[in-house]
Structure 1
Amino acid sequence: MTFFPDSAVRPGRLAVGVTLPSPAVQREQKLPLTEAARHAELAGLDLVAYGGRPAAGTPSLDTVVALAAVAAATERITVVGAAYAPALRPPVQAAEEIASLQHIADGRLVLGVGTGGGRDRWAAAGVPYEERNRRTDTVLRLLPRLLAGERVPLPYGPGYAAVECAPAVPMPPVWIGGTSRTALRRAAHLGDGWFPSLAPAADVARGAVHLAELAAAFGRPSPAVAVGTTGALGAGPDLPTRADIAAGLAAAHGSPRERFADVPVTGGCREAAERLHRYCGAGVTRVLMDIAGGDWRHQVDLLAEVRDLLR
């Protein structure tokens, strides 16, 4: 099992990070992606992420391109690809992209793996939706050998040559996104971490227990647990309330509002720290927050204060 690059995180401590702003926020607040990443690093956060957005359907940049820019613009902070879908690519292409990102990030990359996006996304890539899970597992099994520079036979049947990728790089930690049974089983079998998003602490705790049972059945240590959440810190008429954020999530996901009622992180820094601390009891060691409103830079500064309180 791969060690996490943010290894300074000790038992009982919660590493805190932020999801980088969407193109719309970058444009509205005159905040280039690389500047946002540097601001988060200078503020003292542990992680920055790009890829998946809690509000489904929000336009975003290509994950690989965005992460490459972020990795090159920062020096210390862990860089997380929040929803990379390796099954949309041939295994060699996925390996080359991941190896390039790990090389640019100098070992600071965490690969968050998902299978989302709906049938249309998979159809547009020429990949049958029904094959997404099999293809994802296949790539995850091949990646460690491909990134190590080994010569690996491709899983397409007779007649395909073996390939090797260069330069060799350390295998990044893999966080498996999602809360389905398939996602939990994949995390237990092939992941270094489980990465549920927009789930209350009680749900995460139940999932973590099941995750540990599955991992034991595979003869593996239980993966780490990282959580994606959303919120707006501080007070002011321009900030969405917890109810506002929950309603927006419900509309975006086509779910009852009650499902997200306990998810948003709002209020002052101490209140936010208390809310995030609930995840510690669920076995969570890392949390990534998507900023739901307000000035992004100021929100990151407040989140850094929350981090300090949690320490």
Structure 2
Amino acid sequence: MRLLSHDMTIETGVFLPSSSPRPGQPISVEIRESARFAEEAGLDSVWSTDHLVASAPIMDSTVVLATAAAVTERITLGFGVLLPALRPAAWAAKQVSTLQLLSGDRIVLGVGTGNPEHGDIGWRAAGVSFQDRGARTDEALRVLPGLITGAATVLDDGTAVTLAPGSTLPPVLVAGNGRRALRRAAEFGDGWLSIGMSVEQVASALVSLTELAEEHGRPSPRAAVVAPVLGTDPRQAADQLAAYAAAGTERVVLAPTGAGWRQDYEFAAAVRAAV
């Protein structure tokens, strides 16, 4: 974490090469190499996307993060984002809890409902409803904290279950730019994860998020931004990150550019050093 000024801090992360940007492009398997490189470059976090069937090749996020955890010691490991509605909540919790234990409490649990641009084939293949994914996500967010930590938990069908061993609950970041996502973040999240928003959009949304959180008697979730709007010069990008921090952003995850993970990570590290 880098100090910007006074109390403003921001963390810089990158995506592991666990998905392909285009349908015809082969996927990289350099998860170990990229995770080690990111940690050695001084970056704060690495992230893995999640889906069963996407518009291009994609790996399983839990296995990807487990691989990254095994070859690193310090760096934060983020789901960017997990789709709990694709899975039984208890299985998702078991995987997250095990990752948290084996990584030494380095997990950040981003949660989303799934990008409609990928279609519904993955949902149909998993035998779950695409239309009900929002409600299923809400229910998962309700029960995941207890399941992950090993507390007695009653599932939506009335089943009482306790998973052992439990772990420390990782920070939960709820993803999405829309009003429903903000409401979900206010009700369930430690953080809110937006995609591609400008500084002004983040600042405006945080005002609404604070009001929604107050309705639930909760503190306003902290903001993180995936694919922030940045220039190509590291110093210019560092100034832009300072503006995001001033608007209330505590974490950014830089998007792949297509130049390859090594070049992207070097740029991210240069931006972080310039902050």
TM-score (normalised: structure 1):
0.79
Pairwise CA distance, 1:8: 9.3
Q: State the distance in 1 between where 2:208 and 2:200 align.
A: 13
Q: Which residue of 2 aligns with 1:20?
A: 16
Aligned with residue 40 of structure 2, among 39, 42, 46: 42
Q: Which residue of 1 aligns with 2:267?
A: 302
Q: Is the 8 A contact 1:85 1:114 kept in 2?
A: yes
Report whether the alignment pairs 1:275 with 2:240. yes
The structure with the larger Rg is: 1
Q: What amino acid sits opposite 2:125 in the alignment? A: A
TM-score (normalised: structure 2):
0.88
Pairwise CA distance, 1:229: 0.6
Q: What amino acid sits opposite 1:85 in the alignment? A: L
Question: Judging changes above 3 Å, is the alpha-carbon distance between structure 1 residues 165 and 228 closer, same or farther for their aligned structure 2 residues?
Answer: same
Pairwise CA distance, 1:23: 5.0
Q: Deviations over 1:271-311 (max 9, x none)?
A: 1212222212321011010220334323312321211222x
Pairwise CA distance, 1:154: 2.4
Q: Which residue of 2 aligns with 1:245?
A: none
Q: Which residue of 2 aligns with 1:182?
A: 180
Q: What amino acid sits opposite 1:66 in the alignment? A: V
Q: State the distance in 2 between where 1:67 and 1:218 align.
A: 32
Secondary structure, in 3 states, of the residue corresponding to 1:129?
coil
Q: What amino acid sits opposite 1:213 in the alignment? A: E
Q: Is the 8 A contact 1:147 1:171 kept in 2?
A: yes
Q: Which residue of 1 aligns with 2:7?
A: 11
Could you list the runs of 5+ residues in structure 2 that have no partner in the other structure?
A: none
Q: Which residue of 2 aligns with 1:92?
A: 90
User: RMSD between aligned alpha carbons?
Assistant: 2.5
Secondary structure, in 3 states, of the residue corresponding to 1:274?
helix
Q: Which residue of 2 aligns with 1:131?
A: 132
**1:186-225 to 2 correspondences below 5 Å:** 186-225=184-223
Q: What amino acid sits opposite 1:304 in the alignment? A: A
Q: Which residue of 2 aligns with 1:145?
A: 146
Q: State the distance in 2 between where 1:24 and 1:228 align.
A: 17
Q: Out of 93-102 and 292-301, give the one that drifted further.
A: 292-301
**1:99-114 to 2 correspondences below 5 Å:** 99-114=97-112
Q: Deviations over 1:83-132 (max 9, x none)?
A: 10111111211111111111122100000101014333322222222321
Q: State the distance in 1 between where 2:188 and 2:194 align.
A: 16
Could you list the runs of 5+ residues in structure 1 that have no partner in the other structure?
A: 1-5, 231-262
Q: State the distance in 1 between where 2:142 and 2:167 align.
A: 16
Q: Out of 296-305 and 137-146, give the one that drifted further.
A: 296-305
Pairwise CA distance, 1:205: 1.3
- State the aligned residue count: 266
Q: Which residue of 2 aligns with 1:251?
A: none
Question: Judging changes above 3 Å, is the alpha-carbon distance between structure 1 residues 275 and 102 closer, same or farther for their aligned structure 2 residues?
Answer: same
Q: State the distance in 2 between where 1:222 and 1:269 align.
A: 31
Secondary structure, in 3 states, of the residue corresponding to 2:144?
helix
Q: State the distance in 1 between where 2:218 and 2:27 align.
A: 45
Pairwise CA distance, 1:79: 0.5
Q: State the distance in 1 between where 2:3 and 2:98 align.
A: 25
The percent identity for this pair of structures is 42
Q: Deviations over 1:186-243 (max 9, x none)?
A: 101100000001122211111111011111111111111000016xxxxxxxxxxxxx
Q: Is the 8 A contact 1:29 1:295 kept in 2?
A: no
